[in-house]
Chain A
Amino acid sequence: MKIAFSTSGENLDAPLDGRFGRASKFILYDLEKEYFEVIDNQQNLNAAQGAGIQAAEAVVRAGANGIVTGHCGPNAYRALCAAGVAIYNCEAPTVAAALTAFRAGVLLPMESADVEGHWV
């Protein structure tokens, strides 16, 4: 199972980025093999609209089964649900802390988008 974390950095100590669509990178962590890769989301940062959808496409393409992020807008939510990817809300400061929380099973899948479109 692979989990994507929205972030601005390239390692597990990097901060967890609170915004799914506008995060500059994703760390895709493989829970079985215990390694991660970095997915670049840079080109979406400047998208006027549809950033959440593009980010969703990028993480789905990379094979993520779940996403851990701060907030998720309605379009990204719809896109990720259609792809069968669960979204977990997390306030942890770093990717490592979010990973620990995910493993501990304390993160709950979001049941709806929690911010308005443009915020993503």
Chain B
Amino acid sequence: MILAVASGKGGTGKTTVSVNLAQVFGARVQLLDCDVEEPNSHLFLKGTLRESEIAAIRVPEVDESLCNACGLCSKFCQYHAIALLGATPLVFQELCHGCGGCEKICPRGAISEKERRIGVVETVEADNVTLIQGRLDVGVAMAPPLIRAVKSRLLGGVSAILDAPPGTSCPVIATIRGSDLVVLVTEPTPFGLHDLKLAVDMVKELGITFGVVVNRVGIGDDRVHRFCGERKIPVLLEIPDDRRIAEAYSRGELVIDALPEYRSRFSTLLWNIKELRGKKSGANHVRS
């Protein structure tokens, strides 16, 4: 099972849910920190760094002696990373997503590719959890290719939890695409509800089964609950607004270690997730 944990905005407790869930998982599990601009899962898992690999994308290089300024490359590139403005195309490396399209389309074979480093992918072993995290280099705005590099390390046959970046933009979609189930973490506030609605639309668009975790229950109002009720969205877990959770977080401790009474809640979450997944695959089975 590949499970993605996402939220419409930052600071809702996405990492708390991911790391604690990984720890109660029981069996061996892979935790992928796809929040590559600010990976923080490693703060909660004390393990040993097993591997650190450089992640690069392939950006084009134009051989001026072969180019006849036909402009096909520039027309092709949807990111405007290669533009024909003078006698030969200019490459804007920091906009290039490394899709390789311009090289293929060039009729003169004038484009070759060179590597551009965008970050690192690190593998940390911590008991039953294998943490794989991407770390984008400072000043690089190219999260999706690095997220794909992180996801390419996934071992088949072993379950995985994907900690998505906050929001609903391309990096989030790059993370949750292909997962079996998405957990959306939110807070019971008007802002939380607003961002939850955006996240729900995104997940529906991708056609992935999902449920909600409501964090900091006790603040705000009941509109998130009402929204989930109306839309028949399963609430998989409620975490009360307990300042000891925030304190444990700030010390880099797992909630289930610092506050053992919460361990059963995360086990229940895991159980609810598995049940939701079972229900869906069962339903699909009947339909097909």
Contact = CB atoms under 8 A, between A and B. Distances in A.
Interface of A: 47, 49-50, 53-54, 56-57, 60, 75, 78-80, 82-84, 117
B95 A82 contact: no
Nearest to A49: B95
Contacts of A60: 85
Contact of B90 (A49, A54, A79): A79
Contacts of B86: 82-84
Pairs of residues from A and B, 3 with the lowest C-beta to C-beta distance, nearest first: A50-B80, A83-B85, A82-B86
Interface residues of B, number: 13
A60 B81 CA distance: 17
Given A53-B92, A57-B80, A78-B90, 15 more contacts: A49-B79, A49-B80, A49-B141, A50-B80, A54-B80, A57-B84, A57-B85, A60-B85, A78-B92, A79-B85, A79-B90, A80-B85, A82-B90, A83-B85, A83-B86
B85 A50 contact: no
B90 A50 contact: no
Interface of B: 74, 79-81, 83-86, 90, 92, 94-95, 141
Contacts of B80: 47, 49-50, 53-54, 57
Contacts of B141: 49
Contacts of B83: 53, 56-57, 79
A117 B83 CA distance: 16
Nearest to B82: A53
A50 B95 CA distance: 7
Most A C-beta atoms less than 10 A away, residue of B81, B83, B94, B141: B83
A75 B95 contact: yes
Nearest to A80: B85
